[in-house]
Copies of this chain bind each other. A is one copy, B any other.
C-alpha cells in the first residue's frame, strides 16, 4: 500500500483517494523510480524483463501517471483553451469540433468555456485557462479590449482570435469576409429588383455585426439607393426585439420588400414573422442553418464555413507553438451565397 500517499491524505484531505505513484510501482517491482518513469513513457534503455516486471506492478496497482506533476516538470500541458460565446449555439458546434480535431491531431486536449457575450466573463475564463497553463488559446472574443492578455502572450501562450478580431492588441485573427458576404447578399436582392431592403442585425459593437452592416450600406450605395433609417434595426439580440423590428419595417407607408438578416438567430425569427403574413417578402440571411432548404420557400443565405474557421485558427495556433510563425496575421475566409428561393422572390409593392 502507498504509505506516503495515505499520509498526505490525512494531512491535506486530498481526494485522489489512494492513488499509487511511481514510487509505489517502483517498490512493488523492486526497481528504481526512474526506471518506472522510463517504462511509462516508453523511453529506451530498459531490459524486456525489467519492463515486464514494471508493467505487472502498474497493472496490479492500477497506476496512472499524474499529468499534473508531469506538466509541472515539463512546462507544456498539451491542452488548449477555447472560449466561445455559447456552446449551445449551433454555429459554434462545427467550429469547436474542428478545433478539437486539430488539437487531437497534436495530442492536445480541449478545455472550453462560454463567455455568454460578457467581456468580464471572457477575461475571467481566459485568465483561468492561463493559470492552468494551457499551451494556447482560441478566443471568440466578447470584449473589445484584450490588453489583459499581453503578459500571457509574452509568457508564451499562443493565441488566435476567431470570428471577430482582438481589441487593442496585435494578434492572429481568422474571420469570415463579413463585409463582402453581406454586400453580395444585399446585391443579390437588389439584382432581383428590390430597392427598399431592411437590415436587422446585432449591436454594432460586435465586429461581425458592424461589418455586415457596412456591407449592406455599401451594396445599397453601389446601387444608388438611399437607406432610410427605419429600414435598419441594430441592437436586435433577443427574438422579441427582432420580431418588433421586422414588423415595424414591414408596416407603414413604404414597407420594405426584402429583409437582410444579420445572423442565423435573426434569420430564424424573421422566417417566423414572414410565415405569419400573406405578402411575400424576400429574405437573405447571414449564416447557413439546418433545414433552411426545407422551409417554404427555402431560405437563401450567405454561408460561412464555421468548421474552416475553427480548423484554420487551431492550425495557426499550433504553428505558433512550433515556432513556425512570426508576425500576427489577419486571415479572411470567403463566404458563399446559397440560393434557395427566399432571396429570389420579386418585390411586391
Q: Closest CB of chain B to A327's CB: distance in Å?
A: 18
Chain A 48-104 interface residues, beta-carbon cutoff 8 Å to B: 62, 64-69, 71-77, 79, 86-90, 93-94, 96-97, 100, 104
A291 to B271, CA, bound (A): 10
Could you tell me if A131 and B295 are in contact, using CB atoms closer than 8 angstroms? Answer: no
Q: Write the nearest CB–CB distance from A303 to chain B, whole angstroms.
A: 16
A107 and chain B: residue at smallest CB distance:
B128
Kindly report which residue of chain B lies nearest to residue A323, judged by CB atoms: B15
A144 at the interface (CB under 8 A from B): no
- Partner among B96, B112, B113 whose Cβ is within 8 Å of the Cβ of A88: B96
Interface size on A, residues (CB 8 A): 66
> A336 → chain B, closest Cβ, in Å?
19
Among A16-24, A27-35, A255-263, which stretch is in contact with chain B?
Answer: A16-24
- The answer to whether B290 touches A271 (Cβ under 8 A) is no
CB neighbours (8 Å) of A151 from chain B are 62, 64
Q: A275 — nearest CB in chain B belongs to which residue?
A: B294
Q: Which residue of the partner chain, among B68, B100, B114, B275, contacts A132 with CB atoms under 8 Å?
A: B68
Residues from chain B with a CB closer than 8 A to the CB of A90 are 90, 93, 290
Q: How far is the CA of A15 from the CA of B77 in the complex (A)?
A: 10
**A130 at the B interface (CB under 8 A):** yes
- Are A100 and B129 in contact (CB-based, < 8 A)? no
- Cβ of A156 under 8 Å from chain B: yes
Report Cα–Cα, A296/B113, bound state, in Å.
37
Complex: how many Å from CA A73 to CA B104? 28
What are the interface flags for A311-337 relative to B under an 8 Å C-beta threshold, 1 for contact and 0 otherwise? 000000000010000000000000000
- CB-CB contacts of A283-302 with B at 8 A, as 1s and 0s? 00000011100111000000
Chain B residues with CB under 8 A of A104: 113
Interchain CB contact under 8 A, B154 and A62: yes
Contacting residues, chain B, for A110 (C-beta < 8 A): 111-113
Q: What mask results when residues 198 to 227 of chain A are scored 1 for a CB within 8 Å of chain B, else 0? A: 000000000000000000000000000000
CB neighbours (8 Å) of A152 from chain B are: 64
Known: A65-B131, A88-B97, A112-B112. 4 other contacts (CB 8 A): A17-B155, A18-B155, A66-B133, A111-B111
List the 7 shortest-distance A-B pairs measured between CB atoms, nearest first.
Answer: A14-B75, A62-B151, A17-B156, A88-B93, A88-B97, A17-B155, A87-B97
